Amino acid sequence: MISENDRLEKNSLRSYPKGVDHTLNIIITTIMLAFGSCAVVSAEKPVDFAKEILPLLSDKCFVCHGPDTRKKDLVRLDSFEGATRDLGGYKAIDLKALSDSEIIVRMNDSDDPMPPENAEKQLTDEERKLIERWVKQGGNYAKHWAFVPPKKTSLPSKGHPIDAFVQKQFSEGVDFAVTANNATIARRLALVLTGLPPEPSLLEDFLNDNRVNAYERFVEQLLADPRYGEHQARYWLDAVRYGDTHGLHLDNRRGIYPYRDWVVRALNNNLPIDRFIEWQLAGDLHSKPTTEQLIATGFVRMNPSTAEGGVIPAEFQAKNNFDRTETLGTVFLGMSMLCSRCHTHKYDPITQTEYYQLMAFFNSTSEGPLDGNKYEYAPVIKVPKDQVSWNDWLKLTVERDELLSDAASIFNNVKSSRSDTKKKWSQSDEVARLAMVVDEKKEWKNNALSIYKDAKDLSKRIDNAQKSFTSTMIAKELDKPRDTKLLDRGEYNLPVGDTLRPGVLKVMGGLPEGAPRNRLGLAKWLTSRDQPVVARVLVNRIWQRVFGEGLVRTPEDFGLQGEHPTHPELLDWLAVEFQDSGWDLKHMLRLMVSSQTFRQNSAHRGELNDPENKLFARGPSFRLDAEVLRDIALWASDLLDPHMGGEGVKPYQPTGLWKALSHPASNTKNYKPDTGRMVYRRSLYVYWKRTSPHPMMTLFDAPNRETSCVKRSRTNTPLQSLGLFNEKQRVEIARMFAERLLKERNSDEQRLDLMFNLLVCREPNDQERSACNRLLNAMRKRYVNADQDAKDLLNTGEVPRDKSLNPTEHAAWTQVAATVLASDLALMLF
Amino acid sequence: MNPLREADLMMTRRQLFGRAALGLGTAALADVFSPNLLGNTSSQVRGTDFAPKAKRVIYLFMSGGPSHHDLWDYKPKMREMFGKDLPEHVRDGQRITGMTSRQKTLPVCPSKYKFTKHENNDRGLWVSELLPYTAKVAKELAVVYSTFTEAINHDPAITYIQTGSQIPGRPSLGAWLSYGLGRLNENLPSYVVMHARSKFPEQSLFGRLWGTGFMPSEHQGVLLRSEGDPVLYLKNPSGVSGKDRRAQLDVLSALNNEQFKQFSDPEILARIKQHEMAYRMQTSVPELMDLSSESDATFELYGEEARKAGSFAACCLNARRLAERGVRNIQIFHRGWDAHGSLPREHESQCKDIDQGCYALIKDLKQRGMLDETLIVWGGEFGRTAYCQGGLTKENYGRDHHPRCFTTWMAGGGIKPGITYGQTDDYAYNIADADGNTIKPTKDNWTPGTMHIHDLNATILNQLGIDHRKLTYRYQGRDFRLTDVHGHVIKDLVT
């Protein structure tokens, strides 16, 4: 007869999954069906290891008993094998006598407790009980949720998939909030998709559209608006830490803004996000990279850089690569790689070796480790300087391709053509071919004079266009890769061990078959179906833009220490949908904004006790980002300049801000504000000096772009109030807004209606109207006998005031406009 | 009171209280118009771990790396070695920056300045003739000869000492303090940064030095400027008076309350409070900057320079005025200490900039009974080399960056007055033990008699009632600390 113990033994052996590398510090899935019957000693709710226990072990135990444990005889709690290993008479989890497991014994040992008395993190009584329950239930392990590739579970109910998953988590009696009114939704939608309120004509069309699919049509119109790409690009630029300066020491200018413009263009064209990623990581490694693919590799070059006198190149070769590796971690993998730079990660199953293997992908780019304080920190390429030039350039290239094809057919049809010309033609690129048509005119002249003339003309126009080109930093691979070794404690001068091959994190699946071991392979890995994290991380950030908070509230951390998703099945469903759709960003946004979840009224619901809206049982509401605040105001006052792309613009800024901190040799020590229309461009284009970004941006929580930021804080400070009311451009905007109201409408009532319609897509209610009128009348009284004050106010900013307007009226309306623009009506998405 | 405002306020109150039934706590409501409200709306303030010795800190940061050789660390034996190559065993593998690594020799460069020994409460304090005023408060200073760092270039070194990491991205010391301590004064920012003028503003400063890294940006330092508005955008536009602004804010509150009625979002109330605080700052900051109430004795103490906005002395006087008004976290950055060549010319000017201000600040706080509760810290991001960079003469020389030892001092705020701590070898090149033997401390394990920059930061936090090991902020799954996994409170410095 087989004893109970034998049976357990056998089953426990059998329970190891096949194909798992036991030498890895990974947490394996261990299914121990056999224990189900004996382990559940009571009818207690089964403990969810991944959700309840793993974060606890990670936070409080792994610091000594985790992946980083160096002592061989120490208990390891990061894997089932580790926990059940016999350590000379005791086991952390004793499968034969669960209650005697060392975990339970030591947790409750008052003489020699675990965690030790002097440990920084102690367990609460509840946590002890929870761990005890888990051990007694069999001590099952499961893989951390984020490391298991997402799968679509079947929809819990009919209707919109998002609503079905959200509704599933409502407790009984709870339902969605009522749908917000159409005007509110229109504003919310336009702000989410384009970063601006809807144009009045568009809004009116939508509100009067009684046909089916009116909403969908409205969504499509917004998605097709070029301002969509400008707005969505901002989030990406935060994540990749885009800046117009090198960032360190002198913090000089750098040539990189065509990358920013490419991001806008790519998003407007809805470039599939897998290719969006691939071009950025490895556009240069394509066999015949296009200009756009090369510009995109600016991503690789985005790390802050230095040329400080006396720095050691090898040190910055390492530091630049640390930065890239860790940014890759935050942007795509939703985790800091920082810990593993110096030692195997304490919480997440990432070894120090893996960190350096990942880093090896970046270690063979050809730029020098120091930027030389140069604008053209090589390698760079020359490209059109803004969106207009880009469009012109595209037309020229199309024209060129057509001409060359004509030229080729003429030339192929002519028997007299010389064979060496034919050979040369076949070996030449477009540029050389065009030159051939011009230079070797004989071949074409006799046959088609016009072709030769056209080519000459085109070639001249191409030359002219290229004269206005600017440069942008790109990535280029060295012919012979640099050696990468593990650096002890992350010190550049302490390499140890053998040269490492570039490699990816094992816990997130291997390199796809056939993928090269270079940045191209890295990109293929990131976007492969087996990669468990990337699609989730990206989709979570898309959700965060739309709803104000992510499904995972720690978008920067999907690791063991991060927060669990509020709606795990929804997150997974969306991640797979994202992949299934061909990484279609517009599709995902369409999906999200078409849900009832998005269209709910956003008033807080006291009865739900859900201040953070973790249920998503109300619509989003939050203070808008710095750029949006400025853009809304520029737009409402009709000042917004729609010009797309180009060198960063410099709106007004208090004098001396840059000088107070810049090195005397820096070429960004003097802030010279731009003049003319440039001052009124969208905030996306505001010049980003990393050591001192524009104060109206940083006051409202814009990051400095020295490091990756995937979630901005949303703070409220008195300095924001001062900026809203007193900053020169805000004052100019207020008076231009007033000017617009005075010119476009004829009564106070209509003017207030227009103001509110522009900012909140509705007319003011009685209280709002009376408050504004009170201020208006008080200000009329105030300025009627203070002409000079009125004029002083109206002369703020560069745009001249319309002198035909009565200064008292104009000043009074300016004050009202300034106030409404500073109110939450213009500050919030709701 | 302006009747218009009164009417508006009444209305606002009624509206607000009318909403109380909607579930907003009465405490929160009362807070909105309470004169003693805390300006800080977030719950992101952590509080102290134990009774603090100091209520506030004033950090006098000498950016660029002052020469410990020429100010504090008296090494008469170096005179005998004038111009001779620094013995190899002294340098012992120390990294040399790219600026002197190609130099053929590393000639020993004794200080040209005269040092005098001043009585303190310990073994006495040698101070160079460049700091005659500071020397007079020798009995208040705890001078640390054995501060050290690993970074040898400015950007990493200054980022390291101010944020605990050589690579950008972490919250600054000031942000940590703001997060740890919160605010006392609702009319002024809790964390104020000043940039003092220098004739040699040679090195850069960076927003990150008073920035918040991954912490919410409300903890960032507020620049108190000497040019334009003292606080950015403080002044109303031309043609707009305080009374006008009051009327605007009252209407703004009414509009926001309408918004609150509709959405019950507590953030709306938080913003109303911030607008009110901004309004108060428009009075309190000009009052702060107005030195007309200061007595002649004050300017005798701080010197006439203190009348010139932006001078180091004026910044020190501002620091005292800020301290009096309950601001807890004050930093003055003074640039120009990076003396690679012409050190005498530059350092003489630099010392003249700061000397009387440092002295006056200590004296002034002391006479007002505030020194005990105010921690003053003085220092730079590293020291300077014992050898000369460029041409060496008796009269002129330069020094390169030196991380292995440099001098900082602290005073007040529960720091032992009139002591020295640690020592260096005969070349002020290496830290030495009490017997003069070279020691090579690391950040990993504290060695008695030494102070790594993490130890300095741990000690600063300690004086303010914060355990540096417990002041953590979670980001990307890691509980970050200012002192990383290092830092040791220097008990020998603490009363």
Same domain, A23 and A96: yes
Q: What pLDDT is attached to residue A69?
A: 75
What average pLDDT score do residues A503-521 get? Answer: 94
Question: Which residues in chain B are closer than 8 Å to A604, comparing Cβ atoms?
Answer: 263-266
A199 in contact with chain B, both atoms CB, cutoff 8 A = no
Asked if residues B343 and B71 have their Cβ atoms less than 8 Å apart, the reply is: no
How many domains does one find in chain B?
1
Query: For residue range B51-94, what is the model confidence (pLDDT) as tens digits?
Result: 999 999 999 999 999 999 999 999 999 999 999 999 989 988 77
Per mean pLDDT, which of A48-62, A331-345, A411-425, B435-449 is the most reliable? B435-449
Of A414, A332, A344, A350, the C-alpha closest to A144 is: A350
A28, A108: one domain: yes
Please provide the DSSP assignment of A719-736 as one string: HHHHHHHH-HHHHHHHHH
What CATH number should be reported for the domain holding residue B332? 3.40.720
Is A252 within the bounds of a domain? yes
Cα gap B70→B111, rounded to integer Å: 5
Question: Are B97 and A782 a contacting pair at CB < 8 A?
Answer: no
Are A241 and A339 found together in one domain? Answer: yes
Same domain, A392 and A350: no
Interface residue A719 vs chain B (CB under 8 A): yes
**Beta-carbon neighbour count of residue A458 at 10 Å?**
19
What's the CA dihedral at B384, B387, B393, B398 to 10 degrees? -30
Residue A273 and residue A464 in contact, taking contact as beta carbons nearer than 8 Å: no
A84, part of any domain: yes
Residue contact B239–A788, C-beta within 8 A = yes
Show which of A115, A143, A171 is a domain's final residue.
Answer: A143
- CA–CA separation, B472 vs B483, rounded Å? 10
Residues B1, B2, B8, B11: is their CA dihedral positive or negative? Answer: positive
Any domain includes A719: no
How far is residue A221's CA from residue A213's CA, in Å, rounded to a whole number? 12
pLDDT tens-digit readout, A526-560: 999 999 999 999 999 999 999 999 999 999 999 88
Instruction: State how far residue B179 is from chain A, nearest Cα, in angstroms.
Output: 13
Give the pLDDT band (50/70/90) at residue A15. Answer: very low
Split at pLDDT 50, 70, 90, the class of A446 is low
The answer on A333 and A260 residing in a single domain is yes
Contacts of A319 in chain B (CB under 8 A): 167
Does A115 sit behind a cis peptide bond, omega within 30 degrees of 0 on the bond before it?
A: yes
Q: Of the residues A574, A607, A623, which one is the last residue of a structural domain?
A: A574
Please name the member of A663, A719, A779 whose beta carbon is closest to the beta carbon of B203.
A663
CB spacing of A722 vs B218 below 8 angstroms: no
Peptide bond into B189 cis (omega under 30): no
Q: Is B44 a member of any domain?
A: no
How confident is the model over A242-262, as a mean pLDDT?
A: 97
Q: Which of B167, B169, B248 lies nearest to residue A815, judging by beta carbons?
A: B248
| Alpha helices by DSSP H, A143-213 | 161-168, 182-194, 200-208
Q: Is A604 on the interface with B (CB under 8 A)?
A: yes
Residues of A in contact with B255 (CB under 8 A): 768, 771-772, 819-820, 823-825
Q: If you ran DSSP here, which 8-state letter would residue A310 be given?
A: T
Range A11-16 contact pairs with CB under 8 angstroms and sequence separation of 24 or more = A11/A35, A12/A84, A12/A95, A16/A81
pLDDT at A383 over 60: yes
Residue A124 neighbours by CB under 8 Å, 6+ apart: none
Percent helix, strand, coil in chain A, to 5, is 50, 5, 45
- HSE of A659, CA atoms in CB hemisphere, 13 A: 13
- Which of B154, B217, B252 shows the shortest C-beta gap to A713? B217
Among chain A residues, CA nearest to B15: A767
Q: Is B139 a domain residue?
A: yes
Cβ neighbours of residue A726 closer than 8 Å, sequence gap 6 or more: B233, B234, B235, B236, B237
Q: Domain check: are A289 and A420 in the same one?
A: no
Distances (CA, A) of B292 to B286, B296, B299, B309: 11, 10, 11, 13
Residue A652 inside a domain? The answer is no
Q: Could you tell me if A490 and A357 lie in one domain?
A: yes
Q: How far is CA A27 from CA A53, A338, A476, A556, A560, in A?
A: 13, 20, 37, 21, 11
End residue of a domain, out of A550, A574, A598: A574
**Residues A313, A306 contacting (CB under 8 angstroms):** no
Closest among A235, A249, A211, A39 to A133, alpha carbons compared: A39
Alpha helix segments (H runs only) across A704-765: 718-726, 728-744, 748-760
Within-domain flag for A45 = yes
Q: In degrees rounded to 5, what are phi and psi of residue A282?
A: -150, 25
For the stretch A388-408, pLDDT in tens is 999 999 999 999 999 998 888
Count: domains in chain A = 4
What tens digit of pLDDT does each residue of A725-739 get?
999 999 999 999 999
CA distance B130 to chain A (A): 25
- What is the pairing mode between strands B374-379 and B56-62? parallel
> Which residues have a Cβ under 8 Å from the Cβ of A153 and sit 6 or more positions away?
A569, A572, A573
Q: β-strands A380-383, A470-473: how paired?
A: antiparallel
Let me know whether A374 and A392 are in one domain. no
Same domain, A372 and A303: yes
Higher pLDDT, B301 or A414: B301
Q: pTM of this prediction?
A: 0.87
Residues A603, B476: C-beta atoms closer than 8 Å: no
Identify whether the C-beta of residue A548 lies closer than 8 Å to the C-beta of residue A829. Answer: yes
Are A343 and A318 contained in the same domain? Answer: yes
Per-residue exposure over A149-160, b if at least 16 CB sit within 10 Å of its own CB, e if not: bbeeeebbeeeb
Residue A209: inside a domain: no
Q: pLDDT grade, residue A327 (50/70/90)?
A: very high
Which residues does residue A649 pair with via DSSP β-bridges, in sequence order? A686
pLDDT confidence tier of residue A64, bands split at 50, 70 and 90: confident
Tens of pLDDT along A94-148? 888 888 888 888 888 888 888 888 887 888 888 888 888 888 888 888 889 999 9
Q: Are both A307 and A432 inside the same structural domain?
A: no
Hey, is B383 helix, strand or coil?
strand
Cα separation of A600 and A618, whole Å?
6
SS3 A601: coil
pLDDT under 50: residue ranges of chain B: 1-43
CB neighbours (10 Å) of residue B304?
A: 11
Identity of the amino acid at B396: N
DSSP secondary structure letter of residue A23: T
Closest to A243 in 3D by CA, of A689, A567, A815: A689
Distance CA B172, CA B193 (A): 12
Long-range contacts of A223-229 (CB under 8 A, 24+ apart): A223/A193, A223/A586, A223/A589, A223/A590, A225/A193, A225/A194, A226/A264, A226/A268, A226/A644, A227/A194, A227/A195, A227/A196, A227/A682, A228/A193, A228/A194, A228/A267, A228/A268, A229/A263, A229/A264, A229/A265, A229/A266, A229/A267, A229/A268, A229/A269
Range of B398's domain? Answer: 53-239+310-493
Q: How far is CA A614 from CA A169, A598, A608, B347, in A?
A: 10, 14, 10, 58
d(CA A95, CA A84): 7
CA A82/CA A92 separation, integer angstroms: 8
pLDDT at A230 over 60: yes
Radius of gyration of chain A (CA): 31
**Is there a single domain that holds both residue A240 and residue A95?**
no
Contact A189, A218 (CB under 8 A): yes
Quote the pLDDT of residue A27: 41
Query: Distance between CA B17 and CA B31 in Å, rounded?
Result: 12
Dump the DSSP string for B164-215: SSSSS-SPPHHHHHHHHH--S-TTS-SEEEEEE--S---S---GGGGS-TTS
Cβ A717–B274 below 8 Å, yes or no? yes
Question: What is the model's pLDDT at position B35?
Answer: 31
Q: Which residues of A touch B469 (CB under 8 A)?
A: 120
For A744, the domain range is: 726-829
Task: Look at residue A318 and tell me whether its pLDDT is greater than 70.
Answer: yes
